[in-house]
Amino acid sequence: MKKLTIVLLLLAIIGMNEKLSAQGCVAIRSTGGFCTVGADHNKDSVSQWELSVNNKYYKSFKHYVGTVFQKQREVLGNQVINHAYTGDLAIYRILNSRWSIMLDLPISADARSQTYTQSGELHRFSTHSFGAGDIRFAVYRWLVDPMKAPKGNLQVGLGLKFATGDDNVQDYFKTSDSTKTYGPVDQSIQLGDGGTGLTLELNGYYNFSKLIGVYGNFFYLSNPRDINGISNAHGGPVSASSIANGSNIMSCPDQYMVRGGVSLQFDRLNLSAGLRDDCLPVHDLIGLSDGFRRPGFIISAEPGITYVFNKVSLYSYVPIAMVRNRTQSVPDKITTALTGVYTHGDAAFANCSVNIGANIRL
């Protein structure tokens, strides 16, 4: 019984792993965050190593200014379309019933389609990025001894996000049928943000019975670095207005995620339903918030399903966007103050993101 209780609580950490997912031009990268809901009732020993493989895909194409949908972009056919795939590989070392460590490596393949005008007609071209992203290392601890908290617990995680992903991926941008420039791709498909960050996580759950429980998660990435020095002009000339408002250089933004919901456990099958808020804030928690960023948030309904085999747990989550809000950025506010004309940039969002993955006990 003692071993079984420890297993249930430890596997709750990884049994329904869920990576943060960007859903468009708001560059919320896949840097971690996992769910503590769920338990495996069929194991009688603690595995020392766990491997998590998460696959995420989304297509963003709906432009918003604030919460207002920009229907005219679709009518005109000049909307930006992002196709984004990230495969997250996370390895966990379970030290004992209360402590564990984790190393996460995201690998992304992204394409961004946008338009240029020639002879009064719109033409499309795409820029691309592919490679490893920012590695994250974290340490986790249950606040209460699992043996004394069989129904629920709260876990704290502290981590470092390293600037290992390329924040200066470059490609060709077409300006006409015969001319193009070579420069950094858009911030939303860069592999990294250029900042070394600090992460804080809170993961809690409570099981009312063997059938029903609740869960909650909080993840915050703080990037103290202000800007990363990478031009936002895509290889073209830098405009005077972008220099004036500071958007000529890319920002190193914070991001956070909050989620919670209800889970139902049927032997090997777990079903969950909840809400989540993925956000890239206007202002950072530590340091300045200059440079180009598209701040905003997505509030989603998040159904999920997990099935547990002997050594493998398979899961799928599909956060479905209900509220999309591209908030006013610092450069937007500076331009508003300089010109006296209210300025508020837009961003493209997805309808949903699809997450399919597996957790494997080694």
Domain boundaries, the chain: 2-361
* Rounded Cα–Cα distance for residues 310 and 164 (Å): 35
The answer to which of 47-51, 124-128, 190-194, 199-203 has the lowest mean pLDDT is 47-51
- Residue 46's pLDDT band (cuts 50, 70, 90): low
Digit-coded pLDDT (tens) for 159-218: 999 999 999 999 999 999 999 999 999 999 999 999 999 999 999 999 999 999 999 999
Mean pLDDT of the region 263-268: 94
pLDDT number for residue 68: 97
Q: What is the pLDDT averaged over residues 239-259?
A: 96
Residue 28 — pLDDT band, cuts 50, 70, 90?
A: low
Structure tokens, 169: 């991926």
Residue where the block lists tokens 């207005």? 241
Burial 265-281 (b: 16+ CB within 10 A, else e): beeeebebebebebbbb
The Cα angle at residue 314 between residues 160 and 214, in degrees rounded to 5: 70
Neighbour count for residue 213 (Cβ, 10 Å)? 24
Query: Binning pLDDT at 50, 70 and 90, where does residue 29 land?
Result: low
Which ranges of the chain does DSSP label H, i.e. alpha helix? 2-14, 71-76, 240-245, 330-339
Instruction: Tell me the whole-structure pTM to 2 decimals.
Output: 0.89
Q: What is the pLDDT of residues 271-303, one digit of tens each?
A: 999 999 999 999 999 999 999 999 999 999 999
Q: What pLDDT sits at residue 65?
A: 98
pLDDT score at 166 = 97
User: How many residues does the structure list for the chain?
Assistant: 362
Whether the per-residue pLDDT at 235 is higher than 70: the answer is yes
pLDDT at 45 over 90: no
Domain 2-361 has CATH 2.40.160.40: yes
Q: What is the mean pLDDT of residues 224-250?
A: 96
More confident residue, 153 or 33: 153
